[in-house]
Amino acid sequence: MNSDSIRRTNAIESVMQAAFANVPWRDVFPVFLSEFNIQPAEIEAAIAKKRTEGMRAFTPSEISGLDDCFAEWLDVISAPAPEELISQIQPLIDSLYANTLKISKSPKILLCESPAKLAIYMKILVERKGDEAIYSADQFRALAQQVVVDLTPEERAKFVQPLEVEFNELLQERGSNLMGRSLTYRVREHVLQEFGAELRNETTAILKTDSNEFFTEALYYRFEAIRRRLNSIFDIDFHFLGNEHDSFGRGHERMMRHWNPFNKETFGFWQGYSLIGAGYVMEHLSTRGSFSPSCQAELSQWLRLFNLAPWFSFFENVCLVGMNPVELFLDEQLRLNNRDGAAATFADGWKMWAIDGARVPRRLSEDPASLTVDDISNAQNANIRRIMIDLYGASRYLEDSGSRLISKDEYGELYQQDLPDDEPLTMVRVKNSTMEPDGTFRYYFLRVPPNMMTAKEAVAWTFGLESGEYQPDVET
């Protein structure tokens, strides 16, 4: 298979995954489909095939029931946290620690209303020496302030003060051994390997067929809508801002260094989709057979935990429990996106600003008119710079940034501006052939690939033609 065939296959895979996530793929990916000459019928056939793969032991009604099961779980992870959450989670966690981790001491439950709170505790874990928590209350406060640099003073107080009180109480209660050993890896290993093997063996006996296909092919795509929604919120990079007066955050230092806390130190729906599938077998296929009592008990425990919260992080002395935002804005591709305010707001007051799935500073979302050419030129992240240019206006940016004219002919003018760590911004300026009511002609810019050499070639490209094929009788 050549490179073009591989790229086309990967493109079909991407569109198909979006379709399983309920993304309106026909509307979202028209250019993508055209570029790789992918017909909608081809995608529909691939979707139909994937819906039956791994489901050979199931009837059509059972396949439909599994789809309904995942739709119900999508509602679960979108729901607000239930009342008295700690009292519901504590006995489940105590049982997990005692029976699976062989730890008799009950851990303290810490609700992490926002990803920022989790990241702060994670940084304490990463940077402490041995088992001793080395942060004082003042150090903890300074740490917390660094993740709320984009908030107003009132919003900062709402986030930092309760967090500081909780930390001080935890220090008094737990002493220097604040969190203890990390146990998340052990939990993940148990669920995905030890308990996972038990689930597969018993599912094979119930379905009278090899269950590996069911746990891989049948569940993976159905999980896509849940994965995308959770990833849009939690699979993000945290940064400490080097200069809080720099609202575009130049000089960011990765907060977690080489750690992504949600991948390294958490367990939740990212790893849990096989448990959802096993839960469907247990709850809806009992006429075929039953899991053993011990397997049913543990599976019910995990399903109950996931029903209460999207992720958990386990330590010897504490268990961090993540919560969903109280307000969330997603685009049709299930990416964080809000050009008029925060894309996600959490119960503890922390907020995230994001455009087209990329985290951005607050000013970029709420005050785009304040953008300057220097802001764009100094951006150190190519993706953020592209968003800035889109907000500023690509043609306006070309005009204001001193771009160079690389070609001029009867078809238009071709301009280009170099961008650090990105392809040059290249646009052709043409004149509208239709006269305005006041008798003038309006000029406008069209973005083209950076390898265009002449204005004619660029204009031809906008019509899907080569330069030699583009021969209009009159084109202004």
Q: Highest-confidence range of 64-68, 82-86, 232-236, by mean pLDDT?
A: 64-68
Percent of the chain with pLDDT over 90: 36
Percentages helix, strand, coil for the chain (3-state, rounded to 5) are 50, 15, 35
Residues 6+ apart with CB under 8 A from 275: 191, 199, 299, 302, 303, 306
pLDDT digits (tens, 9 = 90+) for 242-251: 334 444 443 3
pLDDT band at 75 (very low <50, low <70, confident <90, very high): very high
By CB atoms closer than 10 A (0-12, 13-18, 19+), residue 200 is middle
Alpha-carbon distance values, 257 to 63, 100, 253, 261, 379 (Å): 43, 31, 8, 10, 20
The mean of the pLDDT values for the chain is 83
Return the H-helix or E-strand segment holding 156: helix 153-174
Q: Cβ distance 343 to 337 under 8 Å?
A: yes
Q: Taking the C-alpha atoms of 27, 29, 31 and 32 in order, what is their torsion angle to the nearest 10 degrees?
A: -160
pLDDT of residue 396: 87
- The per-residue DSSP string of 224-264 comes to HHHHHHHHHHHS---EE-S-TT-TT-TT-EETTTT--HHHH
186-214: average pLDDT:
93
What is the model's pLDDT at position 436?
64
**Listed ranges 179-183, 325-329, 379-383; the one with the highest mean pLDDT:** 325-329
The answer to whether residue 418 scores a pLDDT higher than 50 is yes
Query: Residue 97 — very low, low, confident or very high, per pLDDT cuts 50/70/90?
Result: very high
pLDDT band of residue 136 (cuts 50, 70, 90) is: low
What are the sequence ranges of the domains in the chain?
3-50, 53-324, 404-469
pLDDT of 62 > 70? The answer is: yes
- Residue 20 CA to residue 220 CA, distance in Å, equals 10
The answer to whether 213 touches 56, Cβ cutoff 8 Å, is yes
pLDDT, residue 258, reads 38
